[in-house]
């Protein structure tokens, strides 16, 4: 089956092909001569020879010259303003030309397939060339991007230290609005002194970005790229685990908390001494106290593992976890700093040693455009609750917590706080009307006054 139009193989490759081409070409040349001769003979200056698939070659005469057509022409087709004729002679040459063309197409096709067949001997070599080009291209790309984005060469080390100086998040830093610069951060982890960082800070302060930034820098270094940091020493990491509390799988309708716990369990069962673990707001999918307890137990487990000291970044808004450092020597508290100016806050986005006291959740609500009344009222409640003994009590409870026994202990809440807590939790802030909110507050107060 011929699908191609020819014009594939050069001259001088195949003698038969060249000969056929000559024939087809000279045939066409002869057609031009026929055209000239017939113009002279008939005096029809607009006479032309054309080709179509139905009639082959034909002579076309406009209606004005119809009467000058000689008797030996055979009429084939009548158009609106012209007539088409063939002659014996034309058909003889047509036969020659078409025959030659058909044959030369077959030969071209054959020669092309032979060439392809010949090329198929080079499959392995060219596949190797492709591989080398791929590798080279990647390494060049790393060099180019390192220049444009001001990355530096990491030091890969057999130690278990991970030290990043002035690291940046490679993707976020590219998406900042013009004029803003990414605030770089230092991160240090090792297996001996600083194995687990508990990072507290308000929502939106950039805890998650910080966690991912550390992992991305490690990944980039270990794929052979420069990294977005002033300097980085990467003690080789062999496993990276990530868990983000209750964010995905919501659409599948599974119990998010169940999913979260199953997945966290799979991390704990696959640890190694060179693991890097990112835990972002783990335990968020359950009530506060369950959440704190689970988070607490996980950190303890990672710290006290008998064989491995996996490096862990643990972001949480449960500042209760700051108390972990009292007993676990390789756990360190850090916070993503926030400046309080008057009643407002400014995100500084720098990582600092030390815990943080509040979660600034209400400030965030304010930033999110919550009506002022609600924010003010929420502030009042917060102060009230903070004054309440519940906070101190719970701190005391954490202090009394049995130390990392085999069984995780649970603890009970003050019943009053628990009731208030439950009520608060049931409130859907999106649907409640101001009046209902006031009534609800009254109800809450009455519970506390009991």
Partner 1 sequence: MAGPAAMETPLMKQYNAIKAKYPGALLLFRVGDFYETFGEDAIRAAKILDITLTKRGNGSASEIELAGFPHHALDTYLPKLVRAGNRVAICDQLEDPKSVKGIVKRGVTELVTPGVSYNDNVLERRRNNFLAAIFSGKNAMGIAFLDISTGEFYAAQGPENYINKLVQSFGPAEIIYTKSQREKFETQFGEEYATFALDDWVFAFDFANEKLIQQFKTNSLKGFGIDGMNEAIIAAGSILYYLEATEHRDTEHISAIARIDEDKYVWLDKFTVRNLEIVSSQNEGGVPLLHVLDQTVTAMGSRNLRKWMILPLKEKQSIDERLQVVEQFYSDEELTEKLLEQLHQVADLERLISKVAVGRINPRELLQLKRSLKAILPVKEILEKSASAELKKLGDQLHRCDFLLEKIDKELMDDAPCSFIRAGL
Residues 239-258 that bind partner 1 (CB under 8 A): 239-244, 248
- Comparing CB distances to partner 1, the nearer of 7 and 342 is 7
Smallest separation, CB 160 to partner 1 (Å): 13
Among the candidate windows 140-148, 190-198, 300-308, 397-405, which touches partner 1 by CB under 8 A? 140-148
Task: Specify the DSSP class assigned to residue 317.
Answer: S
52 touches partner 1 (CB under 8 A): no
Q: Residue 201: CB partners within 8 Å, gap ≥ 6?
A: 207, 315, 317, 335, 336, 337, 338, 356
Nearest to 109 by CA among 1, 37, 13, 16: 1
User: Are 41 and 65 a contacting pair, CB within 8 Å?
Assistant: no
Q: Of residues 288-307, which lie at the interface with partner 1 (CB under 8 A)?
A: none
Residue 79: both structure tokens together: 């158009």
**Which stretches does DSSP call E strand in 168-249?**
185-189, 196-200, 231-235, 239-244
For the sheet containing 82-86, what is the strand order? Answer: 48-52, 56-62, 82-86, 74-78
Among the candidate windows 214-222, 293-301, 375-383, 398-406, which touches partner 1 by CB under 8 A? 214-222
Helices (H), 168-254: 172-175, 207-222
Smallest separation, CB 268 to partner 1 (Å): 12
State which of residues 33, 45, 81, 120 lies at the interface with partner 1 (CB under 8 A): 120
48 touches partner 1 (CB under 8 A): no
146 touches partner 1 (CB under 8 A): yes
- Comparing CB distances to partner 1, the nearer of 312 and 322 is 312
Query: In the beta sheet, which residues pair with residue 264?
Result: none
- The Cα–Cα gap between 378 and 424 comes to 11
176 touches partner 1 (CB under 8 A): no
**Around Cβ 362, how many Cβ atoms within 10 Å?**
21
435 touches partner 1 (CB under 8 A): no
Residue 360 phi/psi, 5° resolution? Answer: 60, 20
175 touches partner 1 (CB under 8 A): yes
Q: Of residues 253-282, which lie at the interface with partner 1 (CB under 8 A)?
A: 263, 266-267, 270, 274, 278
116 touches partner 1 (CB under 8 A): yes
Q: Of residues 305-344, which lie at the interface with partner 1 (CB under 8 A)?
A: none
Q: Residue 142: CB partners within 8 Å, gap ≥ 6?
A: 224, 225, 226
157 touches partner 1 (CB under 8 A): yes
- Comparing CB distances to partner 1, the nearer of 193 and 262 is 262
State which of residues 46, 50, 128, 442 lies at the interface with partner 1 (CB under 8 A): 128
Residue 71: both structure tokens together: 């008797």
Nearest to 174 by CA among 135, 218, 213, 137: 213
State which of residues 70, 92, 106, 112 lies at the interface with partner 1 (CB under 8 A): 112
Smallest separation, CB 411 to partner 1 (Å): 30
Smallest separation, CB 235 to partner 1 (Å): 10
The residue to which tokens 């001569």 are assigned = 33
Smallest separation, CB 96 to partner 1 (Å): 21
Pairing verdict, β 239-244 and 275-280: parallel
Smallest separation, CB 354 to partner 1 (Å): 27
Residue 117: both structure tokens together: 């067949």
The residue to which tokens 């596949």 are assigned = 127
106 touches partner 1 (CB under 8 A): no
State which of residues 19, 40, 102, 137 lies at the interface with partner 1 (CB under 8 A): 137
Q: Residues 218-237 vs partner 1: string with x where CB under 8 A?
A: -xxxxxxxx---------xx
Q: Which helix (H) or strand (E) holds 436?
A: helix 434-449
Q: Residue 274: CB partners within 8 Å, gap ≥ 6?
A: 160, 235, 236, 237, 238, 239, 310
Smallest separation, CB 206 to partner 1 (Å): 16
User: Are 447 and 423 a contacting pair, CB within 8 Å?
Assistant: yes
- Comparing CB distances to partner 1, the nearer of 79 and 140 is 140
Number of residues that bind partner 1 (CB under 8 A): 84
- Comparing CB distances to partner 1, the nearer of 112 and 308 is 112
């Amino acid at each position: 089956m011929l699908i191609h139009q020819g014009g594939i193989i050069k001259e001088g490759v195949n003698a038969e092909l060249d000969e056929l081409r000559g024939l087809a070409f000279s045939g066409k040349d002869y057609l031009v001569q026929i055209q000239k001769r017939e113009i002279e003979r008939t005096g029809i200056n607009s006479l032309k020879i054309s080709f179509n698939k139905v009639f082959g070659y034909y002579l076309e005469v406009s209606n004005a010259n119809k009467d000058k057509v000689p008797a030996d022409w055979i009429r084939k087709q009548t158009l609106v303003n012209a007539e088409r004729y063939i002659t014996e002679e034309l058909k003889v040459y047509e036969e020659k030309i078409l025959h030659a063309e058909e044959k030369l197409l077959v030969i071209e096709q054959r020669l092309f397939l032979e060439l392809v067949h010949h090329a198929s001997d080079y499959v392995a070599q060219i596949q190797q060339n492709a591989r080398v080009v791929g590798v080279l291209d990647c390494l060049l790309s790393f060099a180019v991007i390192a220049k444009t984005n001001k990355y530096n060469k990491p030091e890969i080390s057999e130690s278990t230290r991970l030290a990043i100086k002035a690291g940046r998040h490679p993707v976020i830093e590219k998406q900042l609005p013009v004029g803003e610069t990414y605030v770089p951060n230092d991160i240090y982890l090792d297996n001996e002194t600083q194995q687990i960082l508990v990072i507290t800070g308000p929502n939106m302060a950039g805890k998650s970005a910080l966690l991912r930034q550390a992992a991305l820098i490690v990944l980039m270094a270990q794929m052979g790229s420069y990294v977005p940091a002033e300097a980085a020493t990467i003690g080789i990491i062999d496993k990276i685990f990530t868990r983000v509390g209750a964010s995905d799988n919501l659409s599948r309708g599974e119990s998010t908390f169940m999913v979260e716990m199953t997945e966290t369990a799979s991390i704990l069962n696959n640890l190694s001494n060179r693991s890097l673990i990112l835990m972002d707001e783990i335990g968020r999918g359950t009530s506060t106290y369950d959440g704190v307890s689970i988070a607490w137990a996980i950190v303890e487990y990672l710290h006290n593992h008998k064989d491995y000291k996996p490096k862990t970044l643990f972001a949480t808004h449960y500042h209760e976890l700051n108390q972990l450092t009292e007993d676990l020597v390789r756990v360190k508290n850090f916070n993503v700093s926030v400046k309080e100016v008057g009643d407002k806050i400014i995100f500084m986005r720098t990582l600092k040693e030390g815990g943080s006291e509040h979660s600034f959740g209400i400030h965030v609500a304010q930033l999110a455009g919550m009506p002022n009344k609600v924010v003010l009222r929420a502030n009042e409640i917060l102060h009230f609750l903070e004054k309440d003994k519940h906070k101190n009590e719970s701190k005391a409870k954490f202090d009394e917590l049995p130390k990392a026994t085999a069984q995780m202990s649970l603890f009970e809440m003050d019943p009053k706080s628990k009731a208030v807590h439950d009520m608060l939790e049931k409130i859907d802030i999106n649907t409640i009307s101001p009046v209902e909110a006031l009534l609800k507050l009254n109800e809450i107060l009455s519970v506390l006054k009991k």
